[in-house]
Chains A and B, each alone.
Chain A
Amino acid sequence: MKIVVCIKQVPDTKGGVKFNPDGTLDRGAMLTIMNPDDKAGLEAALRLKDQYGAEVTAITMGLPKAEEVLREAMAMGADKGILVTDRVLGGADTWATSQTLAGAIRNLEYDLIITGRQAIDGDTAQVGPQISEHLGIPVISYAQKIEIEGDSVIVERQYDDRYHVLKAQMPCLITALAELNEARYMTPGGIFDAYDAEITVWGRADLKDVEDSNLGLKGSPTQIAKASDKVRKGAGEKVALDPTEAVAYIVGKLKDKHVI
């Protein structure tokens, strides 16, 4: 079985967020991590590899620095890493990103593609399903459990109050939730091997069946009007009162602020 896992290097929001003047993220200036949902997707792929045997390829689109996240994936157990990087691909929204990744994945053999549900920097949850659309394969999103049966996958798809059990024939794309599993640690030896291994680097020219008009900032229908760091809320006020007094207190506060 061949599994492709799409991963993204995202800002470690614990380290603060920095923006370019045009409102896009200044990715070069921030501490980075592997997107948590993607890490769960990678872990799911590695568990399928442990259980059924599989070749796991991690692929990412980003700055050259994003190779770090591929090395991390390989140090966890991925067999190969592919970095898709090119100036013309910069500033991509979800549409242009999914077009890019689909163009790259068309060069690969795969039974399963696993992406994270969404990235913590964009929070759109669109790229995975869009890739499946471009490739013309089924998608099962919000996976909380993945099993293989013959040439099909059986996936528990999470909802707020229930889950669906869905079966799809492979090739298929699955989007994973961070809650799907607890990702394994890299191993020290895995890290050494990952840094000795070759990372495949692809540019625009390596993307298959993709129009220029669907790539990069120019190919992105989404325009960012404004972006800013989150304004930190105050610590709030805690009072210990019995329920009747508490209601009176809150109502009084709301009246003071002319909310009611």
Chain B
Amino acid sequence: MDFMLTKKHEMARSLFKEFAEKEVKPLAQEVDETEIFPRGTVEKMAKAGFLGIPVPKEYGGQGCDPLTYAMCVEELSKVCGTTGVIVSAHTSLCCDPIQTYGTEEQKQKYLVPLAKGEKLGAFGLTEPGAGTDAQGQQTKAVLDGDEWVLNGSKIFITNGKEADIYVIFAVTNVVTDAKGRSKKMISAFIVEKGTPGFTFGTKEKKMGIRGSSTYELIFTDCRIPKENLLGAEGKGFGIAMHTLDGGRIGIAAQALGLAAGALDRTIEYVKERKQFGRAIGAFQNTQFQLADMATKVEAARLLVYKAAMAKATQKSYSIEAAQAKLYAAEVAMEVTTKAVQLHGGYGYIREYDVERMMRDAKITEIYEGTSEVQRMVISGALLK
């Protein structure tokens, strides 16, 4: 067992760190304030290969491992939660299912431009009545000749209006199981922006990750080619759940980055801020808070890296991903809250990064499976 990163991982981290400091950090506050999607940053990330890190080279990717990808999301999120989730949703939720379930033609047509960063990806599973209960899908897809016809809507979609290629889930059949209950058969589809009948609804005004373009997707008699079915018909629920296992590693890395970033800012701040004639870092309360924060960040990091490595080596990594996301998200919330507290009144002011980080952190306990869902996944495995 070796907890040391290899030299190539260390160098990759230094790359992500340098990029985040130079290209992402200077814009983070403005992206949050204006809620404008950082298109210029995405283009720079595409050029630097950040949009296809774990995708094999033959499909336009970088051919690195999930750990390298997780470190990228971590370093970006240390300075900007919005930028972290843009990469995470694109990579884990769009590239990954096409890589895993796509046909060779689908990979050539969609995965290659996604991994090269020429196109941006998104994932549409959630509906107004189907959040944690993903089986409650209402969006339908009906085969009509050589085309699937989609009707319905998806909400809270990250990269919503900015993406080019979407992995969308819809009910394709309703069957009766052995116990006489009706069961929705869900299938996955690849939908391109600009397809007639595919439009955008409301842009969500969010508490955090405010630049990430969260939109409602609307499908009205949207006809897509038959060959855009992703994976086998009726197997969409399994595809969605497996995809979310990977997505949770990305979100766990985002949460880790937010926590680590807030800790970094706080360490800088307590050395400078003086009260009662001394830096507040000289007070034992500050020291003990920092010690707890740093220890939890490190514990979260080990869980996230372990999950990322499990994705590279194991067929199933649901438990590792759920544990990493559950813990990292809760650490992100706790550490960013403490960071604000240690900043005192300044921590409540938007000029200070920790204010944004605390707002950004909350969503990590909710999206891609709430903390409660992660506990269900973990306990389900324990009691099997």
> Which residue in chain A gives the minimum CB-CB distance to B55?
A189
A71 at the interface (CB under 8 A from B): yes
Cβ B48 vs Cβ A192 within 8 A: no
> Which residue in chain A gives the minimum CB-CB distance to B18?
A185
Interface residues of B in 290-343 (CB under 8 A from A): none
Q: Report how far A188 CA is from B61 CA in the complex, Å.
A: 10
Q: Give which listed residue, B11, B50, B53, B68, contacts A75 with CB less than 8 A.
A: B11
Cβ B11 vs Cβ A191 within 8 A: yes
> Which residue in chain A gives the minimum CB-CB distance to B19?
A185
Q: Report how far A194 CA is from B6 CA in the complex, Å.
A: 13
Cβ A188 vs Cβ B57 within 8 A: no
Q: How far is the CB of B312 from chain A (nearest CB, A)?
A: 13
Q: Give which listed residue, B19, B47, B61, contacts A189 with CB less than 8 A.
A: B61
Cβ A188 vs Cβ B7 within 8 A: no
Cβ B63 vs Cβ A189 within 8 A: yes
B8 at the interface (CB under 8 A from A): yes
Q: How far is the CB of B52 from chain A (nearest CB, A)?
A: 8
Query: Contacts A185-B48, A187-B49 hold; do A192 and B8 have CB atoms under 8 A apart?
Result: yes
Interface residues of B in 19-69 (CB under 8 A from A): 19, 47-50, 53, 57, 61-64, 68
Q: Report how far A195 CA is from B15 CA in the complex, Å.
A: 14
Q: How far is the CB of A9 from chain B (nearest CB, A)?
A: 13
Cβ B62 vs Cβ A188 within 8 A: yes
> Which residue in chain A gives the minimum CB-CB distance to B45?
A185
Cβ B18 vs Cβ A188 within 8 A: no
Q: Report how far A184 CA is from B49 CA in the complex, Å.
A: 11
B163 at the interface (CB under 8 A from A): no
Cβ B48 vs Cβ A195 within 8 A: no
A1 at the interface (CB under 8 A from B): no
Cβ B53 vs Cβ A188 within 8 A: yes
> Which residue in chain A gives the minimum CB-CB distance to B52?
A189
Q: Report how far A72 CA is from B15 CA in the complex, Å.
A: 10
Q: Report how far A192 CA is from B63 CA in the complex, Å.
A: 8
Among B12, B53, B57: residue with most chain A CB under 10 A: B12
Q: Report how far A75 CA is from B15 CA in the complex, Å.
A: 10
Q: Report how far A184 CA is from B18 CA in the complex, Å.
A: 12
Cβ A186 vs Cβ B15 within 8 A: yes
Cβ A72 vs Cβ B19 within 8 A: no
Q: How far is the CB of A15 from chain B (nearest CB, A)?
A: 13
Cβ B63 vs Cβ A191 within 8 A: no
Cβ A71 vs Cβ B18 within 8 A: no
B-side contacts of A195, CB under 8 Å: 6-8, 11
B-side contacts of A184, CB under 8 Å: 47-48
B-side contacts of A187, CB under 8 Å: 48-49, 62
Cβ B8 vs Cβ A189 within 8 A: no
Q: Report how far A75 CA is from B6 CA in the complex, Å.
A: 16
Cβ B12 vs Cβ A188 within 8 A: yes
Interface residues of A in 172-202 (CB under 8 A from B): 184-192, 194-195
Cβ A185 vs Cβ B8 within 8 A: no
A-side contacts of B63, CB under 8 Å: 189, 192
B-side contacts of A191, CB under 8 Å: 8, 11-12, 15, 64
B72 at the interface (CB under 8 A from A): yes
Cβ B64 vs Cβ A188 within 8 A: yes
B-side contacts of A71, CB under 8 Å: 7, 11
Interface residues of B in 56-115 (CB under 8 A from A): 57, 61-64, 68, 72
B-side contacts of A72, CB under 8 Å: 11
> Which residue in chain A gives the minimum CB-CB distance to B61?
A189
Cβ A188 vs Cβ B19 within 8 A: no
Interface 1/0 per residue, A181-225 and B, CB below 8 Å? 000111111111011000000000000000000000000000000
Q: Report how far A184 CA is from B57 CA in the complex, Å.
A: 20
Cβ A185 vs Cβ B61 within 8 A: no
Q: Report how far A191 CA is from B53 CA in the complex, Å.
A: 11
> Which residue in chain A gives the minimum CB-CB distance to B49?
A187
Among B8, B19, B48, B50: residue with most chain A CB under 10 A: B8
Q: Report how far A186 CA is from B10 CA in the complex, Å.
A: 13
Q: Report how far A72 CA is from B12 CA in the complex, Å.
A: 10
Cβ B64 vs Cβ A189 within 8 A: yes
Q: How far is the CB of B223 from chain A (nearest CB, A)?
A: 37
Cβ B15 vs Cβ A192 within 8 A: no
Q: How far is the CB of A181 from chain B (nearest CB, A)?
A: 15
> Which residue in chain A gives the minimum CB-CB distance to B65?
A192
Among B11, B47, B57, B64: residue with most chain A CB under 10 A: B11
Cβ A192 vs Cβ B7 within 8 A: no
Cβ A185 vs Cβ B7 within 8 A: no
Cβ A192 vs Cβ B18 within 8 A: no
Q: Report how far A185 CA is from B72 CA in the complex, Å.
A: 14
6 A-B residue pairs with Cβ-Cβ distance under 8 Å, sorted by A, are A75-B15, A187-B49, A187-B62, A188-B68, A192-B62, A194-B11
Chain A residues near B (Cβ < 8 Å): 68, 71-72, 75, 184-192, 194-195
Nearest 10 Cβ contacts at the A-B interface: A189-B62, A187-B49, A195-B8, A185-B48, A188-B62, A188-B64, A191-B11, A186-B15, A189-B63, A188-B53
Extra 7 A-B pairs, beta carbons < 8 Å, given A188-B12, A195-B6: A71-B11, A184-B47, A184-B48, A187-B48, A189-B49, A191-B15, A195-B8
